[in-house]
Amino acid sequence: MIRDRGYFHWDGAFVERRLPWWPITRQGLRLAFKMKLFKFFFAGSLLPGVVFLAGVYISERLEDFKSMVRGGRVLFLTINPAFFKTYYTIDFLMMALVVLMLFSGAGLIADDLKHNALQLYFARPIRKRDYFLGKAGVLWFFLLILTLVPGLLFILFKLVFSGSFALLRSYPWLPLSVLAESLVLTVFFSLYTLLLSSLSANRRYVSIMIFGVYIFTDVLFGIFYGLVRSPYVALVSIKANLQQVASFLFGQAPAYAVSWVYSILILAAICVASVLVLNRRIKGVTVVR
Amino acid sequence: MTGVEEQSLVLEDIHFAYGPVAALRGVSLTMGSGAIGLLGPNGAGKSTLLRIMLGFLPPHQGRGRVLGYDILTEQTTLRRYVGYMPEDDCLIPGMDAVTFTAFFGELAGMPRAEAMKRAHDVLFYVGLGESRYRLLETYSSGMQQRLKLAQALVHDPRLLFLDEPTSNLDPQGRAEVLDLIVDITSKKDISVLISSHILSDIEYLCSQVVILNKGLVAAQGLLADLRRTRYNLFELKVKGETEGFLRKLQSRGCRPETTEDGLLKVYLPEGLDTMDIIRAAGEEKVQVRQLIKSQTSLEDLFAQTVGVD
């Protein structure tokens, strides 16, 4: 038996990783894909991207699809910034992002808190920021697949199908808008998820919070709006704030008559608060005073 | 790396407080190679000291070096060369033991493939070879204890911090883990600092001990030396009314204890000798029928040092 050899030394050499957090991200992705339900939801969350991609194709083949369009309403198939803004703000995509965060992110820190694993991480030569980046990397992977990748594919496919650069000539800033909007969604949802994951050691509570806070702020907005009819109450809704920022980034009229600056400030405040809380919650040792 | 230091651990005047509660009040200690036992009653500051040595907590005052690395400024590098087996059960749900162990080897800086190979080896070494592909959630407490040892060993540390390494183990498992630790420390060039409440384990494993009490080092050194210099315990058989005799001994700074089998154990402070016991007995009209110097044990040393039963 190997055990009979007794303890023996490892004769290899340590390596300095340029991305010391990468093993944490890789393990996080592995664990996420081990969940059967997660695979199902992940596949489902790709649906809006596929549908919109089909829209890009059809927009260049309108003649072929005319028989399928009744009443001549084909405005949806005009590929312009509004098309992109629609993709990034439709309820289905927003909900898909929330559900993905719920499945892939709820346990990221909560499980480590529950099972006392933080001290094992920090007994290794990794810093707090490496741990944070490693966990956030898992979320960024999924978020960017649903935001940046489809956005860039829409532009690429439009260029390929149309055979011209008309889209980029008309809207040269569009790739930057796609990038900025993807980053806004990615940074916000990853910090939002990690914040809630660090607040409890029970991943079920965290899942409820991720879903509940998102829905609750929107319901609150609906109730207040019904009472006071002021567009400013949109600022209490996470979804509405994200939609306001998306409208600005794609040069569209905002859904609510409130400056997008307020929305970006609110989202930024949530992100800053998340970083501060995470900095306090993530440590190698829990001190019971 | 500054090379393997002769002193694996040097701490100078370490202070730490949790708010108004002082946990460490000027701990200075030096540790050579081999196995060192860290002892102390609850709240003595053992865990705080371990956490400071690992860099989890920065000391409020004082400085220290572990394996030659400064615990304040070089803690990240230091952690590459130390292994830590915490007291709490630790796992990552959804992982099997090989993935778990290799993962922490990789985080220590091992190349991925080598971490995986080494994970298999150390899991066999700690006796989890057959169950290395099982999910960690299905592990018993004893298996989790071994797993913690495996993850602490995977990157081949030079200094191993073991916090209660035999808790949650049945007698056979305990004996096996103790044998592993003996194997690690006696045959190889790895130093081990063991914090444990099980004094017999420390006695079995360690040649040196550090006893903490109320945030201070109450005693440190080779176990044999400590027994010789600090230990002054006598066992008595007496006849007569012992109540007054015990009070008199206490008033002179002794610490008498009555054992279940009717013996009287008396810890003598420095400066007193057996004649003081005899005199006290005479004054209280108690007949001393037997007075022998007790067999030394770590338990007695610990009790005398920290002043507990």
Contact residues for A75 (Cβ-Cβ < 8 A; gap 6+): none
- Are B240 and B255 found together in one domain? yes
CB-CB under 8 Å, A27 with B99:
yes
CATH number of the domain within which B264 lies = 3.30.70.100
For residue A16, the chain B residue with the least C-alpha distance is B109
Gap between the Cα atoms of A278 and A191, Å rounded: 9
- Are B79 and B202 found together in one domain? yes
pTM for the whole structure: 0.83
Those of residues 66-105 in B touching chain A at CB distance below 8 A are 76-77, 79-80, 82-84, 86, 88-95, 99, 103-104
Would an 8 Å CB–CB cutoff place B158 in contact with chain A? no
- Are B95 and B36 found together in one domain? yes
Q: How many residues does chain A have?
A: 289
User: Is residue B238 within 8 Å of B264, Cβ to Cβ?
Assistant: yes
Gap between the Cα atoms of B248 and B240, Å rounded: 14
- For residue A173, give the nearest of A161, A181, A184 by alpha carbon: A181
Residue B107 is nearest to which of A12, A23, A31, comparing CB atoms?
Answer: A23
CATH number of the domain within which B181 lies = 3.40.50.300
- Are B207 and B244 found together in one domain? no
pLDDT score of B1:
41
- Return averaged pLDDT per consecutive 10 residues of chain B, 309 residues in all: 60 91 89 86 85 88 92 90 90 94 96 95 92 93 92 94 87 87 80 86 87 85 71 82 88 82 81 86 89 72 63
CB-CB under 8 Å, B57 with A285:
yes
Gap between the Cα atoms of A276 and A279, Å rounded: 5
**Residues of chain A found within 8 Å of residue B153, distances taken between Cβ atoms:** 7
**Residues of chain B found within 8 Å of residue A10, distances taken between Cβ atoms:** 110, 114, 118, 155-156
pLDDT score of B82:
93
DSSP state of A124: S
User: Is residue A177 within 8 Å of A110, Cβ to Cβ?
Assistant: no
What would the pLDDT profile of A91-150 be if each residue is shown by its tens digit?
A: 999 999 999 999 999 999 999 999 999 999 999 999 999 999 999 999 999 999 999 999
Arithmetic mean of pLDDT over chain A: 90
- Are B273 and B157 found together in one domain? no
User: Is residue A105 within 8 Å of A197, Cβ to Cβ?
Assistant: yes
Domain termination site, one of B226, B242, B274: B226
Gap between the Cα atoms of A242 and B226, Å rounded: 69
Tell whether B260 is covered by a domain: yes
CB-CB under 8 Å, A120 with B90:
yes
- For residue B28, give the nearest of B42, B45, B41, B5 by alpha carbon: B45
- Are B284 and B220 found together in one domain? no
- Are B205 and B255 found together in one domain? no
Would an 8 Å CB–CB cutoff place B110 in contact with chain A? yes
- Are B216 and B242 found together in one domain? no
Residue A125 is nearest to which of B76, B127, B153, comparing CB atoms?
Answer: B76
Residue B108 is nearest to which of A111, A116, A124, comparing CB atoms?
Answer: A124
- Within 13 Å and on the Cβ side, how many CA atoms surround A3? 13
Gap between the Cα atoms of A250 and A83, Å rounded: 9
**Residues of chain A found within 8 Å of residue B20, distances taken between Cβ atoms:** none
Q: Supply φ then ψ for residue A145, to 5 degrees.
A: -65, -30
Helix segments in chain B, DSSP class H: 46-54, 75-78, 97-108, 112-125, 141-153, 171-187, 199-205, 223-230, 242-251, 274-283, 298-306
Joined tokens for residue A20: 């010391």
CB-CB under 8 Å, A125 with B86:
no
Domain termination site, one of B177, B211, B226: B226
pLDDT score of B197:
79
Would an 8 Å CB–CB cutoff place B118 in contact with chain A? yes
Q: How many domains does chain B have?
A: 2
pLDDT score of A222:
93
What would the pLDDT profile of A226-269 be if each residue is shown by its tens digit?
A: 999 899 999 999 999 999 999 999 999 998 999 999 999 999 99
Tell whether B306 is covered by a domain: no
- For residue A15, give the nearest of B113, B123, B152 by alpha carbon: B113
Sign (positive or negative) of CA dihedral A153, A158, A163, A167: negative
**Residues of chain A found within 8 Å of residue B19, distances taken between Cβ atoms:** 289
Domain that holds residue B266: 230-299
Tell whether B131 is covered by a domain: yes
Domain termination site, one of B226, B250, B266: B226
| Closest CA of chain A from B282, distance in Å | 51
Gap between the Cα atoms of B162 and B130, Å rounded: 24
pLDDT score of B219:
82
- Are B212 and B236 found together in one domain? no
Would an 8 Å CB–CB cutoff place A112 in contact with chain B? yes
Gap between the Cα atoms of B90 and B80, Å rounded: 19
User: Is residue B158 within 8 Å of B94, Cβ to Cβ?
Assistant: no
Q: Mean of the pLDDT values across residues A160-187? A: 94
- Are B251 and B117 found together in one domain? no
Compute the count of residue pairs across chains A and B with CB atoms less than 8 Å apart.
Answer: 122
How many CB atoms are located within 10 Å of the residue B103 CB? 26
- The predicted complex's ipTM stands at 0.87
Gap between the Cα atoms of B297 and B294, Å rounded: 9
- Are B217 and B236 found together in one domain? no
Tell whether B162 is covered by a domain: yes
**Residues of chain B found within 8 Å of residue A27, distances taken between Cβ atoms:** 92, 95, 99, 103
Helix A148-162 × helix A81-89 angle, to 10°:
150
Tell whether B56 is covered by a domain: yes
Residue A116 is nearest to which of B90, B127, B183, comparing CB atoms?
Answer: B90
Sign (positive or negative) of CA dihedral A274, A279, A284, B1: positive
- Are B121 and B207 found together in one domain? yes
Tell whether B175 is covered by a domain: yes
Tell whether B268 is covered by a domain: yes
